[in-house]
Structure formats: structure tokens, C-alpha cells
Structure 1
């Protein structure tokens, strides 16, 4: 099964100002040399996904430099598995107007790679996830679209896109930041929050984005997800069922945090501290790269220059 990954890293992180005055939100330092984007990239790389494109826009220089030093060296002279794509790389000069528009402007990557599935993942969350398990769930149910969902207290649901599902996980309704979140089928105190991680059958994704663009839509959460239940076979993947090797008994099962505000950013930093953290940054069986990687391995191969990463992708 061939999966193409598109990582959404173009937002300006207005709720994290002034921290994002000089950095894109995914490039913000997190803890112990890690940056926020390292978690999604670590998950994709550890899941064996060969082609990963980071769609960047707002203040991208520090993000590009970080990927150049911490991630590209893993290719060891081969074609980089991770590429940064900026607006205009397919010949135009239009900025990305939203998450859906960013993927729409890069549909040529689907044509080039001809994947079995397209993973569209957010770049600003802290978690560990084996994407292959989500892909198996998608295939086993004959889904056209699968949305990863984290169980959060229902009182917090208004901060997220929320999914109403049946007992089998099939999506009945998607509500973007609702006043009254819908509980999960088996727990009235919890709701399924969209993690901003989606798996699409390629044909369905292309059709949705083309229609969305014709109608003036630009965003997955606002313009694509709400219409899916009426038209496609869509499932919510319960992130609580996902497991990765090396997790410690004292860690919070299904740990996932959306780093959307300064308070959330600080709280997640506290979660990784102490001898028994609820989310450990150290897991040799599911490693994450960071700025500290080359310090620990001083003989690591030299990375290509930043200009190579910023060079437009051929169409």
C-alpha cells in the first residue's frame, strides 16, 4: 500500500502570538531540542511512508532550516523523503488561502506519485501514532475518507471539529467548533475531536477539492468535512486504539494535544517533564528527530543547502 503524505504547515498561529512573530507555528521550539513539527514527521517516517511533502507558507525560513538539519540527513545521499513546498511551486504565485487550497494547489503530486491513499495531516500537534494502523482501519471498512478522532472531555469539544458517529465509527455529522458537542456512542462525557489527520482515496480527494474550489471554499474543517457524511463512506478512526512500540506504563494512553494556544503550549511542555511524564520524549522504538539529533551524532551526513529545499517542485 503506497501512501503519499501532505503535511499542513502553512498557518500563521495567531493565537500563539507573540511566539509566532518570527516562526511558523510548527517550527516553534517545544522541549529538549524538539519542535512541534517533529511529532508528525516522526510518526510518518516511523510508519514507513516514503514520500512526505510539508506545505509551508507563513515565515517558513526557520521551518525549512530545521527540516534541512534534523530530517533531510536521514536520506543519506538518496532523494530526500521529506520536501518543503511553498506557494507557487507549480507555476503560479497565489498564496495558500487555507488548508484545502494548499492541497488543491499541489494536486500534481498525486498525479506524480499515484498513491493508493493520501494522508493529509496537521503539523501542530504533539502525539505518537502508527499511521499504518489507521490505514488498515480505512481499508478494512471500505472507507473513502477516514478522520482520526481523539476522545476529549465533552466540555472541551467546542474548541475542535467534532464528529458524530455510530457504534461502528461511521460518520453521521461533522460539526466545526459546535456549542453543544456530540458525545461518543459509549461515553456521554467524551466527544470525538478531529485531530486534523485525514486519509483519502485519491480520486475522492481530487473531486472534493475541485468542487470546493469551484464553490469558493478553502478549508477542510469548514468547507469539506461537513459535507462528507451525505455523500461518501466516511469513518472516524478512534485514536485510543492506536499503539506504538516502546510506550511506558506511566504514559497517558492516546496522548494527543493540539498546540493551538499559549496555555495549551505550556501545558503540553509540562506533560513531558519529570521522571514519569504522561508523554515521554524518549522512545528508541519510535524515535523522533530534533535539532539535538546532529549534536548527538556529530558524524551525521551533511544536509543539502536550504536553497535546494526551497526550489520549486517540477510539475
Structure 2
């Protein structure tokens, strides 16, 4: 299975001001050297999705520097690439008018690769996800469009695209940031929120973007997704059923956070703290990558050549130390978890 991914990383992040005065929201530091964009890229990489275009626009330089120094070197080989695309000049005539327009301006890349599916994913959320499981769902439903969805508290649901679903996850209605969000049937305290992660049948995506462009639509959430129920085979993928290896028993299942405000960002950072964190950023089975000092993932193809124990004379800023560590010298053979 071949997936081409577009990562939407052009947002200004006005609710995160003043943190975003000089940096795009996805380039903001999270904890211990990780950036917000590292979560979506780690999920794609760990899932074996290694054909990735990052669409950047607002204050892109620190994002480009991070991707060029830490991420792009990971992608080498046939059909393995990470390419950053930013309008030149930023703010000029060719500037992206919105999330949908950003992908529309790069539709030729979809046609070039002829993928089975196109992933359009947000770059500003904190979570772990095996995208292969969503792709399996998309295929099993013979879907034109699949939307990753997660239950959220009804009192915060107005900040999201809200789904009303029917049998088998078929989406009956998509409302972008409604004032009165509909609750999940039988669960009045929760609503079903779009995570901003979509899988498309390529021909359907091209038609939708061309249609939106002709009518002046530029945004997935506002101009495209609400018009699809009833017209296309559109399904909600229940993220709560996504299983990622290495998650400890004390962690929150289905952890997903939109960190679009300073309060939300601070809360997510706190969720990584302590010896029993709600979200363990150091899961070594499904690692969050992107830190300049990443350890190599040990897998079955790696060979341990020698081993010794030692006490480090110093510890990197922000590190959590609970016990002594065994250090291994490994000859790595980096490979994705899944072959998409």
C-alpha cells in the first residue's frame, strides 16, 4: 500500500501569541528538545509512511531548520522523502489561502506518485497513532474519505469539527466549530471531534479540491468536509480503538491533545511529567523522534556489538532519571515499522 502524506504546518497560531511571534505553531518547543511537529512526523515514520510533504507558510524558517537538521536525513532511499514546501515569497501572490488551498496548489505531486491513499494530517497535536490501522479501516469501508475522530468533553467541543455518525461509523453530519455541538448518543457529556487527520481516495481528493477552488473555498474544515456527508462514502475512524505498542498501563488510552492555546500546551506538557505520566514521551517501542540527541531504535535487524555499564557525568536538561542505565553500542538498521 502506498500513501502520500501532506502535513499541514502553515498555521499562524494566533491563540498561542506571544509564543508564535517568531515561530510557526508546529515549530514550537514542547518538552526536552521535542517540537510539536515531531508527533505527527513520528507517527507517520513509525507507521511506514515515508513519502511526506510538509506544507509550511507562516514564519517558516525555524521549522525548515528543524526539519532539515533532524528529520530530512532520516528519509533516504526509493520513495522515502520528506520535502518542505513553502510559498515563495511568503505572503505573495502564490500564498496558501488555507489548508485546502495548500494541498490544491500541490495536486500535481499526488498525480506524480499515483498513491492508493492520500493522508492530510494536522501538524499541531500531541498523540501517538498507528496510521496503518486507520488505513486498514479506510480500505475495509471502501471509503472515499476517512476522518480520525476522538471523543472530547462537550464543554470544549465548540473548538473542533464535530461529527454525527451512523451505523459502522458512517458520517451523517460534519459541523465545523458549532456553537451547540451535538453529543454522542447515549453519552451526553462527550462529543465526537475530528482530529484534523484525513485519508482520501486520490481521485476524490482532486475533485473536491478543484470544486472548492472554483467556488472560492480554501479550508478543509469550513469549506470541504461539511459538504461531504451524503455525497461520498465518508467514515469516522474511532481513534480510541487505535493500539500503539509500548504504552504503559498507567498512561491515558487514546491520548490526544490539541495544543492550540497556551493553557492547552502547558497542560499537555504537564501530562508528560513524573514517574507515571499520563503520556510517556519516552516510549521506546513507538518512539517520538526528532530530538537532536535521539537514541537509535533497536529492532530485530540491529546487532549489539558490545555492552558496558557506566555512570554519565552529566545529564541533558529536562531528562528524567529513575535508575541506572545500560548502554549499548548498536549498528543500526533503520526501517519503518510497517511497509505502506
- Normalised by the length of structure 1, the TM-score is 0.90
2:18 aligned with 1:21:
no
C-alpha separation in 2, matches of 1:141 and 1:88: 40
Maintained 8 Å contact 2:50/2:80: no
Maintained 8 Å contact 1:70/1:293: no
C-alpha separation in 1, matches of 2:46 and 2:21: 31
1:88 CA displacement: 5.0
C-alpha separation in 1, matches of 2:93 and 2:158: 35
Corresponding residue for residue 332 of structure 2: none
Indicate how the Cα distance of structure 1 residues 190 and 206 shifts in structure 2: closer, same or farther if over 3 A, else same. Answer: same
Maintained 8 Å contact 2:50/2:75: no
C-alpha separation in 2, matches of 1:291 and 1:267: 21
Corresponding residue for residue 141 of structure 1: 141
Corresponding residue for residue 312 of structure 1: none
* Matched residue SS, 1:184: coil
Maintained 8 Å contact 1:135/1:199: yes
Indicate how the Cα distance of structure 1 residues 3 and 262 shifts in structure 2: closer, same or farther if over 3 A, else same. Answer: same
C-alpha separation in 1, matches of 2:110 and 2:80: 17
Give the stretch that moved more between structures: 283-292 or 55-64: 283-292
* Matched residue SS, 2:11: coil
Give the stretch that moved more between structures: 77-86 or 123-132: 77-86
Give the stretch that moved more between structures: 187-196 or 6-15: 187-196
Instruction: Name the count of aligned residue pairs.
Output: 296
1:72 CA displacement: 1.7
5+ residue gaps, structure 2, are 297-328, 330-340
> Following superposition, which runs of at least 4 residues in structure 1 exceed 6 angstroms of deviation?
none
1:240 CA displacement: 0.1
C-alpha separation in 2, matches of 1:80 and 1:65: 19
* Matched residue SS, 1:103: helix
Corresponding residue for residue 163 of structure 2: 163
Give the stretch that moved more between structures: 78-87 or 145-154: 78-87
Question: 1:158-185 CA deviation, whole Å, 9 max, x = no partner?
Answer: 1111000014211000011112111223
Question: 1:93-130 CA deviation, whole Å, 9 max, x = no partner?
Answer: 51001000000000011011100000000000000000
Maintained 8 Å contact 2:51/2:79: no
* Matched residue SS, 1:293: coil
1:86 CA displacement: 1.0
Corresponding residue for residue 120 of structure 2: 120
* Matched residue SS, 1:44: helix
Maintained 8 Å contact 1:66/1:291: no
Relative to total residues, which structure has the larger helix share, 1 or 2?
Answer: 1
User: Which protein has greater RCO, CA pairs closer than 8 Å, 6+ apart?
Assistant: 1
- Higher-Rg member (1/2): 2
